[in-house]
Structure 1
Amino acid sequence: MSDAHAHSAVVGAEGHLIDSNILNGIFDKVIERGGAFEVLNFSIGRTNEDFSRISLKVSSPTVGALRRLVEDLMLLGCHPVQETDALVRVADRDGCVPDDFYSTTNMRTHVRVGGEWLEVDRQRMDAVIALEEGRAICRKLREVRAGDRIVCGLEGIRVTPEFRERDRADFAFMSNEISSERRVEASVARIAVLMREVKERGQSIVFVAGPVVVHTGGAAYFTELIRRGWVDVVLAGNALAVHDAEHALFGTSLGVDLEAGVPVPGGHRHHMRAINAINRAGGIRAAVESGVLTTGVMVECVRAGVGFVLAGSIRDDGPIVDTITDIVEAQNRYAEELASAGLVIVLSTMLHGIGVGNMLPAWTPV
């Protein structure tokens, strides 16, 4: 036996393995990790509705290398063929877990407990799995308390990737030679369809918006969506509210006249004057009610009863009093608003967009 085959395990996977390019990913990962594989069984779905199934023997030169390989393959939907219950250890102190804890992905996950597979609730990235009253639930490290039962190791855990839908018309569109302008138009049309579907299901549409919405003149269109009931929650930072208020009060954003596209004298002070005006009024809602603010994104949110959460950052000027400067509290508030989200639309904010993405399960469209 060669060194590459010194330690082995048998894993399996099922789903739309070919259409979703998962099969190639599995093979590539084994080679990338310096291992070897042998396909023991492979059956292709007979129809476009059927799943394909594969079992294969993977080998690595050391026990540690094999463990790392299997862990990587689990992220692609593989699981050990020999089923065992998940390993459970007890947290010995608040905010800490055993060293071999399982760290979650955003993909649908099940754990085997007492011979039964439990779907993990509140699925999200970078959490641990706690067992509680017959449930498996994702928890942030800061939420762990001494005595909590934490899933550890890799046994008894199944991860299911999101498979690419077998929508032939959609695939045909993606393969067409079309202009970038047409591509944007088609994407917007698809988003509109998704928004209608989400509303029909009674779920919420969450917008994660950055100040570029104001800088680029997009606020007028965003406010129209709010007025028409297509926005249920706005998640943002201090900057969106500040520059929205600056535009409402002075017609500028970062001191630039949005109509003329040129800086105005003294414009560099405008965002600070806007912060001062909002804080003097007692916050965004008070500013709207008192007439200090009469137009803009935040005004329409208040008038339409659309919830908003502003998360602070180290870059903030001010901030305005509505901004949550405790980052743990801000994360918790974001998570609360995302719990019922059926669609999340990110508008030009990498910081908050990535943060929100980490809080969502893979099956929530972003």
Structure 2
Amino acid sequence: MIPIPAFQPPDFSAPHLAAAPAVRSGPAPADGVAPSGFHATSNHPEYVHLGGGRWVLAPESRMDALLVLKGEGVEVVEQRRVKKGDQVVLGRSENGEEGILVYCDGFGDRACDEAEKFAFRTRGTRETPFSRSYDELYRILRHDREEGYIVWVVGPAVAFDKDSRQAMQGLIESGYCQALLAGNALATHDLEAARFRTGLGQDIYTQALQPFGHCNHLDVINEVRLRGSIRRTIAELELSDGIIYACERCGVPYVLAGSIRDDGPLPEVITDVRQAQDAMREHARRATTVIALATQLHAIAFGNMVPSYRIMADGSVRPVFFYIVDMSEFSADKLANRGSAQARAILTNAQDFVVNLWHNLRPGAAIS
């Protein structure tokens, strides 16, 4: 059984919704400025009442954005993109009192607290067995390889180990990744491994320090900057393995978002944070399954962009699965406490996770 639960829409004939007023709106006073009392979106399905019993589900939602009335519908817009005069939805209640319904029970998971449906700092730590989580994830990935859009948000730890790097390459080449989001470090150390078989100067199999290995990643960055692109460097240096190699070979898009501590960086790294957010948002709009692996800040950033649901081309609504994989509960709870309450944690070593996934998803593996 494929674990894609059917969406059950709200009962708009319920008295409190049948009697709900039409939603209010107010004009944005300036570009990038919302009117007072604006409604801030969550990552849950949200409906607005346009009057006459017509409720509209907001498409492509994300947390911390605004709802703008456009024609006969509504759009989710980041505050910085609001234009002067846009009709911004107003209201802070979420149960229909102001024509706004934040709806959390569509997939039968009752994800909302009735007191406040969307909030920060809502989950504490807990011990969890993960066998069922793995089995569920295998089924989801097999399904979404054909019918969804799988986005990986990956930290450099995956490139530091020979086996996990090979496993990630295999997953990409086998269709289990439609987009890869990372930073300068993941790409740099993956290319370092392809060129020198090291990660930060350590052998990626034995972890033994190599003579002058601390210069290897800087040499790789220099090679790429000399040639102007990763693609050209892979071709001219005849690099033939790795995560970025697999993305280039298979035409899988990757977004490298920069940080203030980056070496180089590589030419493909986006150093303007607004441009990086826009590039990541393109994949957030399409994602049906997200795996955020050993990268806390990128995981939180992408989690803020991803809704808990997706409206498909045929009009059906399905959940967006979000997995946070890390060694400690801190990263998982940090993500949940930033509003991504739907995120599911698998607490394990990043290398072990990727290798385990590949062993169960590689061609010829037994289907669980």
TM-score normalized with structure 1 length: 0.71
Find the counterpart in structure 1 of residue 86 from structure 2. 148
2-structure distance, mates of 1:162, 1:349: 30
Calculate the aligned-residue CA RMSD, in Å.
Answer: 2.5
The residue identity in structure 2 corresponding to 1:207 is W
Find the counterpart in structure 1 of residue 47 from structure 2. 110
2-structure distance, mates of 1:90, 1:118: 20
Task: Quickly say closer, same or farther: Cα 1:50–1:209, change in 2 above 3 A.
Answer: closer
Find the counterpart in structure 2 of residue 123 from structure 1. 61
Find the counterpart in structure 2 of residue 158 from structure 1. 101
The residue identity in structure 2 corresponding to 1:362 is S
2-structure distance, mates of 1:355, 1:337: 13
Does the 8 A contact of 2:154 with 2:182 survive in 1? yes
Q: CA deviation at 1:82?
A: 4.5
Find the counterpart in structure 1 of residue 184 from structure 2. 238
Task: Quickly say closer, same or farther: Cα 1:269–1:104, change in 2 above 3 A.
Answer: same
Q: CA deviation at 1:215?
A: 2.0
2-structure distance, mates of 1:198, 1:142: 32
Find the counterpart in structure 1 of residue 269 from structure 2. 323
1:337-359 deviation per Cα after TM superposition (whole angstroms, max 9, x unaligned): 22222111111111111111111
Does the 8 A contact of 2:38 with 2:88 survive in 1? yes
Task: Quickly say closer, same or farther: Cα 1:337–1:164, change in 2 above 3 A.
Answer: closer
The residue identity in structure 2 corresponding to 1:104 is T
Residue 58 of structure 2 aligns to a residue whose secondary structure is strand
Pairing 1:239-278 to 2, within 5 Å after superposition: 239-278=185-224
1:247-278 deviation per Cα after TM superposition (whole angstroms, max 9, x unaligned): 11111111111222222221221111111111
Q: CA deviation at 1:165?
A: 4.2
- Among 172, 175, 194, which residue is 1:229 paired with? 175
Does the 8 A contact of 2:183 with 2:256 survive in 1? yes
1:85 aligns with 2:30: no
The residue identity in structure 2 corresponding to 1:361 is P
1:137 aligns with 2:81: no
- Among 185, 200, 203, which residue is 2:148 paired with? 203
1-structure distance, mates of 2:25, 2:107: 33
Pairing 1:58-73 to 2, within 5 Å after superposition: none
- Among 147, 166, 179, which residue is 1:220 paired with? 166
Residue 95 of structure 1 aligns to a residue whose secondary structure is coil
The residue identity in structure 2 corresponding to 1:229 is G
Task: Quickly say closer, same or farther: Cα 1:285–1:51, change in 2 above 3 A.
Answer: closer
1:23-81 deviation per Cα after TM superposition (whole angstroms, max 9, x unaligned): xxxxxxxxxxxxxxxxxxxxxxxxxx99999x99xxxxxxxxxxxxxxxxxxxxxx778
More strand by share: 1
The residue identity in structure 2 corresponding to 1:135 is G
Residue 341 of structure 1 aligns to a residue whose secondary structure is coil
Does the 8 A contact of 1:89 with 1:98 survive in 2? yes
Task: Quickly say closer, same or farther: Cα 1:110–1:163, change in 2 above 3 A.
Answer: closer
The residue identity in structure 2 corresponding to 1:328 is R
The residue identity in structure 1 corresponding to 2:102 is V
Instruction: Please say which structure displays the higher CA radius of gyration.
Output: 1
Residue 316 of structure 1 aligns to a residue whose secondary structure is coil
Pairing 1:148-187 to 2, within 5 Å after superposition: 148-154=86-92, 155-162=98-105, 165=108, 183-187=129-133
Does the 8 A contact of 1:243 with 1:254 survive in 2? yes
1:172-219 deviation per Cα after TM superposition (whole angstroms, max 9, x unaligned): xxxxxxx98xx444432221100122234x221111111011124411
Task: Quickly say closer, same or farther: Cα 1:287–1:50, change in 2 above 3 A.
Answer: closer
State the aligned residue count: 280
Which 4+ runs in 1 deviate beyond 3 A?
A: 49-53, 79-82, 162-166, 183-186
Find the counterpart in structure 1 of residue 254 from structure 2. 308
Find the counterpart in structure 1 of residue 301 from structure 2. 355
Aligned-pair identity in percent equals 35
Does the 8 A contact of 1:102 with 1:152 survive in 2? yes
Residue 226 of structure 2 aligns to a residue whose secondary structure is helix
Does the 8 A contact of 1:233 with 1:308 survive in 2? yes
Q: CA deviation at 1:87?
A: 1.4
Mind listing any 5+ residue stretches in structure 2 that lack a counterpart? 1-7, 93-97, 110-126, 310-319, 323-368
The residue identity in structure 2 corresponding to 1:297 is I
Q: Which has the higher contact order (CA 8 A, sep 6+)?
A: 2
Does the 8 A contact of 2:145 with 2:175 survive in 1? no
Does the 8 A contact of 1:102 with 1:151 survive in 2? yes
Residue 263 of structure 1 aligns to a residue whose secondary structure is coil
